[in-house]
Amino acid sequence: MKISKQLQIQESERKVLDFFASLADSTRLNILLSIATKPKTVNQIYDFVGRDKMTLSAISHQLRQLYDLGIVDYKKNGKEKSFELSDKFCWCILKDAFKQFNNNIQIKCKKCENKR
């Protein structure tokens, strides 16, 4: 039983590290900021990040990684997917980090909005 608890703690630590590693990458952070206030399609995210900086395929690859980590969700409308921040996380930590460095960026936190 003690080993099981230790494995749970290690798994939680890995997930926390994966979460913060995702935020530490400038491309993934820009992707998250692009969908911080409302859902966007892959092409809209591509425009936000900058077509001259990455390929559409690279954006899709990053979105897949973020989705696999549970950081973003998507809704399918026909062939098109609209991505949004996952409501499993409290995004106030990201909003507070930007506020700390004098940038009041708009980030919707569904988790906190639902508590009000």
Per-residue confidence at 114, pLDDT binned at 50, 70, 90?
low
CB 43 within 8 A of CB 56: yes
- pLDDT surpassing 90 at residue 45: yes
- pLDDT surpassing 90 at residue 35: yes
Q: For residue 32, what are its two tokens? A: 């998250």
Architecture of domain 2-89: Orthogonal Bundle (1.10)
Per-residue confidence at 107, pLDDT binned at 50, 70, 90?
confident
CA distance 1 to 23: 34
Domain ranges of the chain: 2-89
Question: What are the residue ranges of helices labelled H in the chain?
Answer: 2-24, 26-34, 42-49, 56-68, 92-100, 110-115
Q: What is the mean pLDDT of residues 73-84?
A: 94
